[in-house]
Structure 1
């Protein structure tokens, strides 16, 4: 089949590579988000999907909106049979959805209808799910509500971060997406409507959303920190300034600490929660390099009773 692939960040790359290597399908173009400013110099950078496509001589389309007339005209000229989508990051209007003969087939990193939305992997870890997965479905007007072609499942490890889990799902999901497209071409797969029960949503996570709340139980703080790693990254305030954190580890102690209270020991730095404390891993103060929490605590000369807020 002639494919137009839509995607933007690194988790879309395994699927794009798999389809580039496929002997059955031809990627005639990719659609990705426009170049975005990054770094201190705010230099415009191509998306990871655009960079990989250019390496293989594939046409790159970067519409501001997928409903732009120029984009729709070019999309129609390309005559795609199908348009696979992985983390594209923009809505597809009806005019765009109507162009490919077999529609737009999205790879979504959850077991739909659970965790529709922008941050399904983070939501599954934060909720304490034991199993998650990836689904392929046909895109419709309603968010992530289209009929499902297939799924793969993945167990969530006790220490998995969102980055760990997403990396595995990107690989297994790439194989699922390729198999789905093969089945569509052969006429051997059919999409099944999602059930009306079990629907949940995973909203986009902002930097402000990533502030850890130490008034919650240790298990919740642990899950939140892992869900927010690596992006946008968990943080808390120390002496009024933002301190970037990594995953934490719940520990059992004889005497609990008040929520947010810091206790510096020789080999670990503990922070109180509503239950047992958590041990900090790596931390990064503003303008400083990332370092072990014990090194950071020694450097700031911690006073008794200080807190993370």
Structure 2
């Protein structure tokens, strides 16, 4: 029986952890991020993987620092054969990399060497890519640079959000992991080195990344809205109020205004974008309010054609 230490935090990691728990492998520890304040009421909540692990009686470790001697001793005590990483959220130091007997594998949500880094799904959607995928790789000290053990591609639909792609890749990753983990532990799967010349990077998103730049073409804005869901959301401002754009479409409405200018606000919310293109807002969320369709929003808000959404709130 292969003993596994699993490193993972967000919902993306759940299918893989669930699959391992249901398999013949023995998950001897979960390493996940400490409880954080989130959700309605800003309550202190465990990660989704921690809740699942506790329900199965798995030893759960939540170090603030991966170099903490107490954490390293606890991980060494369970003596894992292999470590499995799925969106843990921190770079693993050498002290962790040397603990599992056979090393560690990582499920990375891109077709490496493309989109190394913390936000590969969001950056692929934002770039308008039609295809992404999941890569199983051996973990090395350098960021997402280890040998590729296996990969599988996944098509991105024209209206798919980052959340949609994350769900699909999480499931694909679980299947890929179980197909190849035993061969890795047995030493029969060494992988292929990555092409460093082809490497691209996907920096971690911050809240400010959600700002809509109305000078961009409509397709780029639509891609941006899809990429920023579920966090940090694509947002804009009008008369000092912040609005989140939840769903958009590229439309053929005549482009006659400046970027961000509202061209139509009677039943439809149509906004001028860059390069003489137009975006239709299909769902919107005013600050502090629920998400609503554009029609419902317009029924309760008196907007004037010619008003202009801005990237930043006026100071």
Q: TM-score range by the shorter chain?
A: over 0.9
Equivalent runs, 1:1-309 vs 2, <5 Å: 1-23=2-24, 25-39=25-39, 41-274=41-274, 275-309=276-310
Runs of 4+ in 1 over 6 A off after TM superposition: none
Q: Post-superposition shift, 1:255? A: 4.1
The question of whether the paired residues in 1 share the 8 Å contact of 2:267 and 2:294 is answered with: no
List runs of 5+ in structure 1 lacking aligned partners.
none
Equivalent pairs counted in the alignment come to 308
Q: Is residue 265–residue 304 contact of structure 2 (8 Å, CA) maintained in 1?
A: no
- How far, CA to CA, are the matches of 2:255 and 2:162 in structure 1? 31
User: Any idea what SS the aligned residue of 1:267 has?
Assistant: coil
SS of corresponding position for 2:243: strand
Q: CA deviation at 1:303?
A: 2.2
Aligned-residue Cα RMSD (Å) equals 1.3
Cα shift readout 1:147-173 (whole Å, capped 9, x = no counterpart): 111101111111111111111111011
CA distance in 2, matches of 1:265, 1:71: 57
For 1:272 and 1:155, how far apart are their aligned partners in 2?
A: 29
Structure 2 distance, partners of 1:36, 1:231, is 16
Structure 2 residue runs of 5 or longer lacking an equivalent are 311-315
Whether the aligned pair in 2 keeps the contact of 1:264 and 1:294 (CA below 8 Å) is no
Residues 37 and 45, structure 1, Cα contact 8 Å, conserved in 2: yes
Q: Tell me the alpha carbon deviations over residues 166-199 of structure 1, each in whole angstroms, 9 at most, x when there is no partner.
A: 1111101111112221221343322211112211
Normalised TM-score (structure 2): 0.94
**In 2, are the aligned partners of 1:256 and 1:277 still within 8 Å (CA)?**
no
1:253 Cα deviation after fit: 2.0
Name the CA distance, whole Å, in 2 between partners of 1:149 and 1:256: 52
**8 Å CA contact retained: 1:65, 1:90:** no
TM-score computed with the length of structure 1 as normaliser: 0.96
